[in-house]
Amino acid sequence: MPGASPADLLRFVDQFGGRAGVHARQWLRGAGQRAEVGWSPVHTPLVPDLVQAHLDGGLTLGSYLVRHGDRCAQLVLDVDASPEALERAWGHPERARALREELHRAGLLLRDHLRERGLHPLLVDSGFKGRHLWCLLDGEPTAADVRAAGHALLHQAPPLPPGLSVEVFPKQDHVPAGGLGNLVKLPLGVHLRSGRRSALLDEAGQPLPDPWPTLRALRRTPLPAGRARSAPAPVPLPEPEPALPADAADPAPPFCEADFDAMPRLVALRRGCPVLREVIDQALSTLRIEAEAAVVLEHSLGHLAEGVEAVNYLGRICGGTPLRMGSPHRGSVISCARIRQRIPHVAQSVPCTCKFEGEHRYPHPLVHLGGAELQPEPPPALLEDRVAALGRLEARLRRLESERDGLRRHVADRLARLPGGRLVAPEGTWTVEDVDGLPVVRFEGKGPA
């Protein structure tokens, strides 16, 4: 960042200084994601030398906005993520990136709204997660009027995404003698937690390489009076979709995990043969199938039309498994005895109590279908069955997502304690890094999973 002239430093004190005779300094205790950050009041005035130290990174300063006499010369809107949104994004690269993009768009949206109301807002990247919008006010109105105007402006603004929140500063109408009120971090300093510098942002929301021309041109404006938000323009109804012709075929959906609980013959096989059920469940939960288990699946499920789809689906989701079938197998199904020989560790771990009597002298898993395996095509799955299976799959996804988020947060916390936030595992390298105030867990594999 280009250096500031003595006039720039004096102007900075005038623009962003608050309560006389005091300023705030940020402190940091610890390191990494477990570091604690806070602020302490220092009862000396904000002067150009302190501003220079703030710009150099030696100090990180804040300003208490409510002045003596309960006057205020700045309105600040602090756009940040809600605790719930931060919890969801913690350690998750895609969600963290989406949250940063939402914060970016929200800052631009609020800046444009404030401009429409006659203010000259300064959009600032806080150096951590959010955005600050500084509005320099003419005439030092009362803190109560500034707060009321800030909340009115927010009420009139377009709604923000659910995961974002906006705080209005000042947060007090009155600060008693000896009190300070809330503070706001000054622009252009380094946030001690993230190590990032707070930056002034240009029209596109990108950091300005030289902030001083913008600050020199910044002007104070009167506090706007609040007005009720105008009613939104009616939204035109969408054109109706063209109807499908009466004879249009209903395309079959691609096979998915829910079909194991929806297609009647697959349901019967999993219910009747605990060994096949265990092989399928292990594949779905671990995304791996050993070679002998793959042979068992191909020569049992692979004799059914829908079984071929199931085998190919497991082959797609399980890494390193050469499962790919065309048409269903003909001839003999793999026998129960042969299954026990190929995967004894699975057969011995489940309660297999099948007893086939009468004509079933060659026991195999498809006997559980009671002759239904002779049908060339699978019986159709009822819509009710598919809906019920979809509901179970949605519930499982919600549970897995919740468990993944909790585990990702735990891993991010533990990785942050390691040197360099890095762990080399057999399958690849796990790292955690701070991105705009959020820990992000990344994985780089050594090759195909």
pLDDT confidence of residue 362: 80
Whether 267 and 210 share a structural domain: no
Instruction: Identify the band that residue 32 occupies on the pLDDT scale cut at 50, 70 and 90.
Output: low
- Which of 184, 189, 212, 207 is closest to 11 using CA atoms? 212
Distance CA 330, CA 373 (A): 11
First to last CA, the chain: 45
Higher pLDDT among residues 377 and 119, named by residue: 119
Distance CA 50, CA 71 (A): 24
Q: How many DSSP H helices and E strands does the chain contain? A: 13, 12
Inter-axis angle of helices 274-286 and 291-298, nearest 10? 120
Instruction: Summarize pLDDT for 132-142 with one digit per residue, the tens.
Output: 999 999 989 99
pLDDT confidence of residue 321: 67
Higher pLDDT among residues 406 and 200, named by residue: 200
pLDDT confidence of residue 436: 64
pLDDT confidence of residue 48: 95
Pairing relationship of beta strands 23-29 and 164-169 according to DSSP bridges: unpaired
Distance CA 387, CA 284 (A): 20
Domain boundary among 380, 397, 412: 380
Whether 288 and 189 share a structural domain: no
Query: What mean pLDDT is reported for the chain?
Result: 84
pLDDT confidence of residue 318: 85
Whether 205 and 312 share a structural domain: no
Whether 337 and 203 share a structural domain: no
From residue 188, how far is each of 4, 215, 217, 259 by CA, in Å?
A: 11, 11, 17, 56
Buried b (16+ CB within 10 A) or exposed e, 275-312: bbbbbbebbeeeeebbeebbbbbbbbbbbbebbbbbbb
Whether 63 and 199 share a structural domain: yes
pLDDT at 397 over 70: yes
* pLDDT mean over 160-170: 90
Do the beta carbons of residue 170 and residue 65 sit within 8 Å?
A: yes
Whether 53 and 149 share a structural domain: yes
The verdict on whether omega for the bond into residue 222 sits within 30 degrees of 0, i.e. cis, is no
Instruction: Identify the band that residue 287 occupies on the pLDDT scale cut at 50, 70 and 90.
Output: confident
Whether 34 and 113 share a structural domain: yes
Supply the CATH number for residue 115's domain: 3.90.920.20
* pLDDT mean over 323-351: 89
Domain boundary among 161, 184, 217: 217
pLDDT at 243 over 60: no
Instruction: Summarize pLDDT for 77-120 with one digit per residue, the tens.
Output: 999 988 788 777 777 778 888 888 898 999 999 999 999 999 99
Whether 279 and 206 share a structural domain: no
Whether 75 and 141 share a structural domain: yes
Whether 33 and 118 share a structural domain: yes
Domain boundary among 185, 217, 249: 217
Q: Which domain holds residue 292?
A: 263-380
| Within-domain flag for 160 | yes
How many structural domains are present in the chain?
A: 2
Higher pLDDT among residues 383 and 381, named by residue: 383
pLDDT at 393 over 60: yes
pLDDT confidence of residue 240: 43
Inter-axis angle of helices 143-156 and 93-116, nearest 10? 110
Whether 106 and 21 share a structural domain: yes
Residue 85 structure tokens: 């949104």
The verdict on whether omega for the bond into residue 170 sits within 30 degrees of 0, i.e. cis, is yes
